[in-house]
Every structure is written in C-alpha cells, then in structure tokens.
Structure 1
Amino acid sequence: MGISTASLSPYFNLSSAALVFFLTIFLVLLSRRTRSKRAKLPPGPPGWPVVGNLFQLARSGKEFIHYVRDLQPKYGPIFSLKLGTRTLIIVTSPELAHEALIAQGQVFASRPAELPTRAIFSCNKFTVNSAVFGSTWRSLRRNMVQGMLSSTRVKDFRDVRNSAMGRLINRLGVEAKSTNGVVSVLKNVRFAVFCILVSMCFGVEMSEEDIQKVDDTMKDVLLTLLPRLDDFLPILGPFFSKQRKRALEVRNNQIRTLLPFIEQRRSALQNPGSDKSGSTFAYLDTLFDLKVDGRKSAPSDAELVSLCSEFLNGGTDTTATAIEWAIARLIQKPEIQSKLYSEIKSTVSDRTVEEGDLEKMSYLNAFTKELLRKHPPTYFVLTHAVTQPSKLAGYDIPADANVEFFSQAIAEDPKIWSNPKEFDPERFASGIEDADITGVTGVKMVPFGVGRRICPGLGIGTTHIKLMVARMVQEFEWSAPPSQDVIDFSETLIFTVVMKNPLQAMIKPRT
C-alpha cells in the first residue's frame, strides 16, 4: 500500500465543521452496529469510531514511520492500527516475520485490495508486485524471473552495465572539475542505474534526452501514487476530484511516453535486421506474446506500459539510494574505504573491476550485506495480505487487513544482533554474525522481503550495488566537502529511504 511514503497530517485541514460533526455522528452509529463482529486483532492505540487512528496520526505531526516507532516499545512485536477503512497489522520481530512469510508463506502471500489510484497504474493488479496470489501472479513472476532475471539473462547485459559504469565515472569526473571536486552522489548514480534498466527493458537505443523524459515520467507516476486521505476514507472522495483527474492525466502521459518505445521494439522484432541499434534481447520481448493463465489474449498496450514501468521503478531508486548510503558510510569511516580499496587492488591490480571479480571480494560482500541490513530500501516491505482469515501470535489476521513487515526493526533487533545500531561490516567479514537475506535459513533481515513474494530483482540489485561501489572506490577517494565536517545521517522517505540532505561528496582521482 505504501502508506509509509509520507506524513498524512497535511490532509486533515477540513474546512467544514458541520461536515465533521455529521460524519462523526454517522460513524459512531455505524461502529455500534459492527462492534460485535470485530476480530481479536493485535493490540494497538484506541481510535475514533471508523476513522480509527487517522486523526491521532495527523495531530502527532509525525511521519507515519516515526508514529510507528513510538508505538513499538509499548505494543511489542505485533500491533494494529486502524486508518479509516484500512486495518494495518504491523509486524516488527524476526520470529513473527518468519512465522508469517516462511512457515505460513502461502497464506501470507497475497496483496490487499488496491487503492483506486494505484489500480489505474497497475491495470487492476496486472503487475508482478501488485497481483493477488494466484495464477496471474505466477505467470507474471515466472516470466520475469525465468525470462529476464535469471543469472544467464543478467550476464547477457554485462556490456550494458559496463557502459553505464563508464558513463557514471565520466559524469562524476566532469562534474568535479566544475565544482572544485564536489559531486552530487544520488543524482549521478540514479541516472546510471536508470540507463541500465531502460536498455534491459526496451532494448532500443535512446538519447540522454529521451532517457531523461522517461525518468521524469516515472517520477510523476511515483508522486501521484503517494497516499491521500480519501484512500482511507472513501466517503471524502468528492473532495479529491482534482487529484483523481490529475492521476488520469499522469497515466495518459505515461502511456504516451512509453508506447513509442514499445512500438519501436515490436517493429524491430517483426522486421529482423531493420533496427540494428538496439539490444539482441529485452524484457519487452518476453511480454508481447505472454500467455497468462486464464487469459486468451496477450497483454494490451496499457498492460505493457504497466509492466515496463514496474521493471524500471522497481530497480532504480532502491539501488541508487543504497549507493548514496554506501558512500556516506565510506566517508564516515575512512578505514572501511581503505580496506575496500586494498581488497580491490589485491584482486584486480590495475585493471578495471569486472563483474566476475565481485564474488572474490569477501569484504565487499560483507560491506554490501551490512549496508542492506542497516539501510534497507524502505521502512516496510511491500504490503502483504492473507489469502484467508488466519492467525499470527494468537491474534486474528482478517483477509482484508494490510500486513506490514517493519524491515528496519527486524534488522536491528537486539536479541539477534550485537550493537545493531552500529554500521560494522566486520560482523559479516569475521563470520561472527551472518544472515541469509533470502530468509531460507532464517529471518534476520528482509531488505528484499522473504518467502514467496521475495523481490525477484534481488540478484541483479545486489550485483548493481557491488559493482557500483567497487568501481566508484576504485576510481576515486571519497571524503566530506570542506564545508561539512560531519555527515548528516538523517533520513526521510521519498519513494525509498533517502538521506534527508542529499549527499554531496568530495572526490579525488586515484593515482
């Protein structure tokens, strides 16, 4: 659902006192009729009739994540919130995450009812991430994993990644020459990642202008998907007609922007040899004639747009954000940077780091795992729902509830981690502590989720992170700008968990 993407407080400036009064009376009467039917939910703060904890959240003036953090010590490893018509079950412990996503994995493998705006962009749940647990989801996921994200397919795009890495290093160097060595980390890294995914998705050559246009369109989509008050109180829908109209405009622009590239690829496949500038293979190639269980027709153009957008959005900000946090940690602790550089030199000497070198670098792998433990891409994994009413920790989990797994709390549980607040790759490098990020051998951290709905891009995502960190450390020595003595690790959520103050870093070419 993504309710963690923003504070809901700006939406509570209701202009009509009479509307609030009559609405409250109506909700009180309605709640009296439904009280006897309530399930035994996990504990949580008492709320108002039907509107639940929405007003409390708004009055707190806090972002949703901070509101949840304040509740965790009081209510424990599992608690519930009522946000209007939505019931949220918050899970914060590794043990309960394992119980739900592994032991009861099939039951907790679905998605909740989609918000109306999101349904517009997902073509009514016709994407891997949004589809309910069933035949459509199996078909879409199987196609993405086997057709595009298998180890063999990922290797096929090695040249694309090498080209993007070269472009990234060049862009950083050019920017540094005009700014006395200071560069914007997130902006440059994000563009490099997006270039890789665009090539993998469409298989056609694009100018930087076209790539930027597609990127801007994707950002508009993500901004449009941020939650609104009427998502939780549909009765207020008439007050948000402008926002709904805007969502349709963004969707139409998304289709207009992406469809020409889809048609270009379709034409290239239908006329072999007519377009030699593109890739020999692309994600789109697997989608044009995709047969989804229970459907006779291939995906429509609108569905192709949704599936391509999912592919682009799923791997861009998550990877770019991780790299920003990685560089910040290397600046904060120069000894880690020195150790990484020494490992790179001892592994490849004076040649450029290649993908085949990554698994030989044990400290790089330990650093990456600690990075994902301490800085998971989002505060919560994608929202889960049960396929049927279930139980967890003795509490009822209704079929219409949003089950949220608090990834940061799970990865900082003091019962299973020593000094969990400390960023320390040595915990993994020394072998004293370890964690299986897939959750197969146990749940201790969930940066990509675990179980049946684990992120299908886990492999390519970690490859991109390792390769970018290795290349950036190999080419440059990273330090704080002269105007900044200490790195500010304050965070905020903009699609993913980013640094509140975007990282500016000083780079010095290695000699």
Structure 2
Amino acid sequence: MASLYSSDQSSLSTSSYIHVMFTFAAFLLSASILFFTRKSKSKSLNLPPGPPRSPVVGNLLQFIRSGKPFMTYVRDLRPVYGPILTLKMGTRTLIVISSAELAHEAFVENGALFASRPAETPTRAIFSCNKFTVNSAVYGPVWRSLRRNMVSNMLSSTRLRQFQTVRKSAMDQFIQRIRSESESTEPGSVWVLKNARFAVFCILLSMCFGIHMEEDEIFKIDDVMKKVLMTLNPRIDDYIPILSPFFSKNWKAAMQVREEQIRTVVPLIERRRSDLCDSSPDKKSAPFAYIDTLFDLKIEGRETPPSDEELVTLCSEFLNGGTDTTATAIEWAIARLIDEPEMQEKMHREIVTVAGERRVDEKDLDQMPYLKAFITELLRKHPPTHLSLTHAAVRPATLGGYDIPADANLEVYLPPVSEDPKSWTDPERFDPERFVTGREEADMTGVTGIKMMPFGVGRRICPGLSMAMVHVSLMVARMVQEFEWSAYPSEPKIDFDEKFEFTVVMKRSLRAVIKHRK
C-alpha cells in the first residue's frame, strides 16, 4: 500500500475535473444510501470483529490517517480484535488471520475451499494477463496446468540439480564482485542486499531463458522488472474505483511499463526459440530452461499454447518471485551473523569440517546441521514478507466460527504465527540452537502442523520453496567460507528495524566490512 497517497489531479482539465467531482459526489450519495440499506442485510453475516468503519471508504481513511505501514496497522489492531478481524477498505473486504490454528483450519483442513485468489485490480490484471500466472490464477484448470508444469518440469529436485553449474558460476561471480567492491572502499566495505540481489537475479535469469547475456543486458532487464514491481503498488483507486479518473496518468504510465516489459522480454524468448533450433556444438546456451516448458504447454480447457504476452508474464513471475525474497533473506542472515559473532564462527567451523579447503558445494549442505538450523531460524524471525499471498474462498465459507464471503480477501499476518509463545520457547530470541538440539522442530510445509509458514502452506504453498532453501543456504555458506563479516565502523550496532519495499527489508540497508579468510 505504499502508493496510497498518490494523486493525479494535474492530468485533468478544469471541465473534466468538475465532471469527476460531480460524479464522485453522486457516487457518495448513492453509495451511502446503498451502504445503509445493505447494512441491515450484512448483519445476517457473522463477520469477524473489526474497527468501526465509515460509509463507502470503510477503514481506508483510518489506515491512511494512522500514517503506519499496513503491517504495523494490522499488528496494532490484533490485541484489540483478536487473531481474526475484518477491515473494509473501500469496496474490498479484508479478513486478516494471524494464528496457527486458523491457518491450519483454512489451508490444511479446508485447503480446497480457501485455495483461490480474489479479484485483481485493473493494473495487476494487465501484468498478470488476467490472472494467467501460478500465483494469481483462480483455483481451477489454469492454475493446475501452470503449477504442475512449474513444479514437475522446473522445480523438481532432478531439474534443480541440472542447474548446479549455473549456480556455481553465479556464486563465483558473486564472491568476486564482493571482493572487488571491498578492495575499492575503505575499510573494505560492501552493500549486502544490492550484491545478493544481483547474484540471485543472474541465477534465475539463466534458469528462465538459458541464453548467454552480458552484464549490461542483465542490468537492463533487472531495471524493467523493478519498474513492474513498483507499478503494482496499490493506489486509492484500487479500493475506491470511482476515483480512477484522478489516476489516468498512473494508468498510462502502467501501460507504458507493460509495453517496455514486453519489448524487453520477447526478444529473449525469441533468442531461446532460435537457440533450440541451433545444433552447432559451440553455442553458449544451456540445454534446458523454464521457457522451454512453456512454448507448447497444454492448458486445461484451452486449445492454444500461451501467447507471447502470456510467456512474458510467466517468465516475469519466475524472475520476480524468487529474486527479492532470497536477497532479503541474505541481508538479514549476514546482519544476524555480524550481531552474533559466535554464530558466525560456529558456522565457519562446520563449513571447514565438511568442505575443507575446497569451495562449498550443494552436496555439502545436507551435512551442515548448524547451517540448516540457522536458515530455519532466519525464516522464522525474518520471513521475506509479513503478509502471505492473498487467498479467497471458492464459495461462501466459515472460518473460526465466522462467515467468510467468497469475494473477501483472506490475508495471513505471519509474525504472530512464528512468534507464538504457545509454540516456541523464548520466541523473541534469535536462537538456531533450538533446532540443533532438537528441543523444537518446524515443518515449513505445514504438513505435520503449523508453527511457521514463510512460504505459505496448503495447496497454494510457494512452489519455489526447495529452490529458495538451496539458494539461501548456498549463498550464506559461500559468504561465510570466503569472508569474516563485521559491522561498519560508523554503525557498530546492527539495527533490526524493518521497512516494507517489495519484501520486508532492513530499515537501514546493511553495509558490512569483510576480511578475506584466505
């Protein structure tokens, strides 16, 4: 909700502005009448409790006036209204849950019932090709086809192993970039998030298209993908559609970003098509890529394969879905290792014991219990986002004894789940030892119970869970193997305050000092 304060009145002429104001006034009058006539009907629905709301705008103005990020706004409401509450944001009804019991009831016990997605805003519909992605598709044949293809043909353990060479090359380049940056600064400092993000993006770009790209081209593609994410930030007219004339300039800008996205990605798709027809022994392209699985993909209920625009959308989902989430985890990981030097030293000793003098390899990760425990605790305390992807019921349902309308947005606020004192000992403390000793366990898939859910749970669990764990674990291991990490001199105390960008990142981006271990 970062763009709720945006406005575009300057794009309106005086006459059109007056027309819009009259239209809005008429809307307010009719909507107010409709609100009060429907209010008696809504009493028949036993919705979860929530703060009092105004006609038409609901709780939207309350949220804006609070000046708080949405995550903080929800956090502050929870002690008052409990683990399930209702917010009315303009025309949208949000049901927010924040307990393991409710998440289990919704996504495990009644997984099929709450496995859909709500209606999208007009802007999001443009970039998703009307919900033609794994994450946005409604629960049905399109979603089944897209998810089955991604999981079976791209993210299976067999497929992931095929990209070990890609990850090794990207990791070597990542380490070299860090080394070079430190050597050009005093006292040998590096920006963690920026470097981690670029490394992850390079890996996913190679996995997606399988073609050779120069660094300048990679930066250009990355810039376009960032523009897409920024364009998808919600605006007031997403919640009060009658205000859309005020945002005509924003709408035009969104269309331009979409056109730029298509112009940038379609040539990559065409290059891959061409490479697949090239049998020359000296070609640089990879033998397999995600896009290969999409060219002739059969979608249930459709006779035609995905169009070029749909291919652009699916490839962009693959790139954006795994870049910022992984990079964010890396930044929090290094911050924790700097703040707790004994954890860093223990992890380094484990790496030396397993790998010796050679570089850490993916096959080593299974032999590193402390690293695994550290990453698990990292995701418990620092999930990449505090709100999981929005769910919706496929039909009117009940949850926690309350009515859930089919058109409501079902949101899951994650921190209370992973910091619940009923599930965790000393939940506020960052303590990997809780998993090393076996006194506490966590199944991130939710199959054996929900205590944390950084990737979601149930039928809409993130399909990239295994890939993300490999990328985060390998990057942290290589970074600790190669360098000793410490705080920047002017910022000796690590600040663990958060802010929301595309993910939940450190409020003050982490700049660290490194010392080469060898």
Q: How would you bin the TM-score normalised by the shorter chain?
A: over 0.9
For 1:254 and 1:369, how far apart are their aligned partners in 2? 35
1:306 matched residue in structure 2: 313
Matches within 5 A, 1:220-259: 220-259=227-266
1:8 matched residue in structure 2: 4
Cα 1:85–1:275 shift into 2, 3 Å = farther
1:462 matched residue in structure 2: 469
For 2:106 and 2:464, how far apart are their aligned partners in 1? 22
Paired amino acid for 2:320: N
1:43 matched residue in structure 2: 49
1:276 matched residue in structure 2: 283
1:146 matched residue in structure 2: 152
1:475 matched residue in structure 2: 482
1:287 matched residue in structure 2: 294
1:29 paired residue among 33, 37, 49: 33
* TM superposition score normalised by structure 1: 0.97
Quick check: 1:335 aligned with 2:335? no
Which structure 1 segments of 5+ residues have no match?
A: none
2:112 matched residue in structure 1: 106
For 2:117 and 2:470, how far apart are their aligned partners in 1? 28
Quick check: 1:202 aligned with 2:209? yes
Superposition deviation, residue 421 in structure 1: 1.4
For 1:324 and 1:260, how far apart are their aligned partners in 2? 33
For 1:482 and 1:271, how far apart are their aligned partners in 2? 53
Q: Is the 8 A contact 2:380 2:452 kept in 1?
A: yes
For 1:329 and 1:268, how far apart are their aligned partners in 2? 44
For 2:9 and 2:400, how far apart are their aligned partners in 1? 38
For 1:243 and 1:106, how far apart are their aligned partners in 2? 36
Deviations 1:25-45 (A, max 9, x none): 333211022113212110000
Cα 1:483–1:21 shift into 2, 3 Å = same
Deviations 1:122-169 (A, max 9, x none): 100111000000010000000000110000000000000000110011
1:353 matched residue in structure 2: 360
Superposition deviation, residue 104 in structure 1: 0.4
Q: Is the 8 A contact 2:111 2:459 kept in 1?
A: yes
Paired amino acid for 1:25: L
Cα 1:18–1:305 shift into 2, 3 Å = closer
2:93 paired residue among 87, 90, 95: 87
2:14 matched residue in structure 1: none
2:69 matched residue in structure 1: 63
Cα 1:13–1:81 shift into 2, 3 Å = farther
Q: Is the 8 A contact 1:9 1:57 kept in 2?
A: no
Paired amino acid for 1:295: R
Paired amino acid for 1:73: P
Matched position secondary structure for 2:403:
strand
Superposition deviation, residue 366 in structure 1: 0.2
Quick check: 1:184 aligned with 2:180? no
Matched position secondary structure for 2:423:
coil
2:384 matched residue in structure 1: 377
Matched position secondary structure for 2:463:
coil
Superposition deviation, residue 272 in structure 1: 3.0
For 2:456 and 2:181, how far apart are their aligned partners in 1? 36
Q: Which moved more, 1:495-504 or 1:263-272?
A: 263-272
Superposition deviation, residue 18 in structure 1: 6.9
Superposition deviation, residue 333 in structure 1: 0.6
Q: Which moved more, 1:470-479 or 1:14-23?
A: 14-23
Q: Is the 8 A contact 2:7 2:246 kept in 1?
A: no
Quick check: 1:97 aligned with 2:71? no
2:272 matched residue in structure 1: 265
Superposition deviation, residue 486 in structure 1: 0.3
Superposition deviation, residue 427 in structure 1: 1.0
Q: Is the 8 A contact 1:9 1:59 kept in 2?
A: no
Paired amino acid for 2:176: N
- What is the aligned length? 507
Paired amino acid for 1:151: S
For 2:353 and 2:279, how far apart are their aligned partners in 1? 45
Paired amino acid for 1:476: F
1:175 paired residue among 163, 171, 181: 181
Superposition deviation, residue 22 in structure 1: 5.5
Paired amino acid for 1:56: Q
Matched position secondary structure for 1:79:
strand
Matched position secondary structure for 1:484:
coil
Superposition deviation, residue 274 in structure 1: 8.0
Q: Is the 8 A contact 1:438 1:454 kept in 2?
A: yes
1:502 paired residue among 496, 509, 515: 509
For 1:168 and 1:442, how far apart are their aligned partners in 2? 37
Q: Alignment identity in percent? A: 62
Q: Is the 8 A contact 2:337 2:344 kept in 1?
A: yes
Cα 1:160–1:255 shift into 2, 3 Å = same
1:446 matched residue in structure 2: 453
Cα 1:12–1:257 shift into 2, 3 Å = closer
For 2:377 and 2:115, how far apart are their aligned partners in 1? 27
* TM superposition score normalised by structure 2: 0.95
Q: Is the 8 A contact 2:49 2:86 kept in 1?
A: yes
Paired amino acid for 2:487: A
